[in-house]
A = this chain, B = another copy of it.
Amino acid sequence: SLVGEGNGSKKKKVMILGGDGYCGWATALHLSKKGHEVAIVDSLVRRLFDEQLGTQTLTPIASLQKRVKKWKDLSGETLDVYIGDVCNFEFLEHAVKSFEPDTIVHFGEQRSAPYSMMDRDRAVFTQHNNVIGTLNVLFAIKEFVPECHLVKLGTMGEYGTPNIDIEEGFITITHNGRTDTLPYPKQASSFYHLSKVHDSHNLAFACKAWGLAATDLNQGVVYGVHTPETSLDEVLINRLDYDGVFGTALNRFCVQAAVGHPLTVYGKGGQTRGYLDIRDTVRCLELAIINPAKPGEFRVFNQFTEQFSVNDLAALVTKAGQKLGIEVKTAHVQNPRVEAEEHYYNAKHSKLVELGLEPHYLGDALLDSLLNVAVTYADRVDNEQILPAVSWKKIGTKPKTVKPSGL
């Protein structure tokens, strides 16, 4: 079937901002494999965060230069690389003018909620980095490549946990006898999540005022490490964060299980969110790219495949551990965040499926393989990094100058 293949075999010139990161690297290889021309733009600041926090990815990742060379050796495909900060407009202008993308995928933001809640300086950095970077991208498109489709990563966290169904970006409201379709109300709960809300509003305006074409992908929590391309060679391996600042729910649990650390369920564990496999992330990006938004259109897709509560995830990891002979315990730790621990949650996510997404559901096989990766690299785990280290209420103006576990 041609469903989801959009303009048939048309190959795109895709510039991936944040292409050295967790989602960006996997996406770059996937698109390159599919015959698209790919450039990576990244300041490598994510690697700096690890140095500064004293954290490390579970999986030993190679330098971007080595990764790109290995991909060339294995696939014959070239990935253009531009090292720089999208907040630096001169740099971005140079990169965009020289590559001339028809699609820009924007992953290049500070993406950890706890990082944004560490201290004032990092809160300000996060909103500046993300909001100004995205403004620069909008201006670069308007000026230099006005036909270029922007595919921007947002987060399901923009919606918060309203007591009504979450729609994909917009909601039709009838009020006092009149009706309109309006942006879905946003209730984000960290300075990081808020930065994405700000981006979404800026994007909607740029599409309306300037006729830009943009897709906002409100992504759920991504889990997993391997994609067919990143598992071709250890030099291509993707990052897997498990620490209390950059690690996300399911990935963290698997690493905790592998080293015999109790799963750290925050509070009551009833917090329900949307999740997806990294293999679906790369496919969703591909689907959005080959079926672009129209000029002037601001589209929003909710990008996740299944909903789980934190307790659901703990139970699944416990069961998968048993199968592998690992005894998994759970510890309810004090919730460092300010969030509802029991709430209604029902979020729509049909638009990417309509474009052709065939989800990888979180099954035993995935959990086994993720747990096995965690077991393989268990000796790299720093137990000090596992506990949550950042409190939503204790954030202050004094800079945190040591690694979180030492706070």
Partner of A143, one of B140, B184, B194, B396: B396
CA gap between A185 and B171 in the complex, in Å: 9
Does A178 make an interface contact (CB < 8 A)? Answer: yes
Stretch from A200-208, A248-256, A259-267, A377-385 at the B interface? A200-208
Please give the number of chain A residues whose Cβ is less than 8 angstroms from any Cβ of chain B in the complex.
54
Asked if B171 contacts A165 (CB within 8 A), the reply is no
Asked if A201 contacts B186 (CB within 8 A), the reply is yes
Asked if B135 contacts A124 (CB within 8 A), the reply is yes
Q: Give this chain's copy count.
A: 2
Cβ of A331 to closest chain B Cβ, rounded Å:
24
Query: Nearest B residue to A117 by beta-carbon distance?
Result: B209
Does A155 make an interface contact (CB < 8 A)? Answer: no
CA gap between A140 and B398 in the complex, in Å: 11
CA gap between A344 and B178 in the complex, in Å: 10
Asked if A173 contacts B173 (CB within 8 A), the reply is yes
Which residues of A, 55-90, contact B by the 8 Å Cβ criterion? 89
Stretch from A126-134, A229-237, A274-282, A307-315 at the B interface? A126-134
Complex A-B, nearest 4 residue pairs according to Cβ-Cβ distance, in ascending order: A163-B180, A182-B185, A198-B198, A164-B175
**Known contacts A178-B344, A194-B205, then 18 further A-B pairs from the complex at CB < 8 Å, ordered by chain A residue:** A89-B120, A120-B139, A123-B139, A124-B132, A124-B136, A127-B132, A139-B396, A139-B397, A142-B395, A164-B174, A164-B179, A171-B185, A173-B173, A173-B175, A173-B185, A184-B185, A191-B202, A194-B201
Taking Cβ atoms with an 8 Å cutoff, the residues of A that contact B are: 89, 93, 120, 123-124, 127-128, 131-132, 135-136, 139-140, 142-143, 162-165, 171, 173-176, 178-180, 182-191, 194, 197-198, 201-202, 204-205, 208-210, 338, 344, 392-393, 395-397
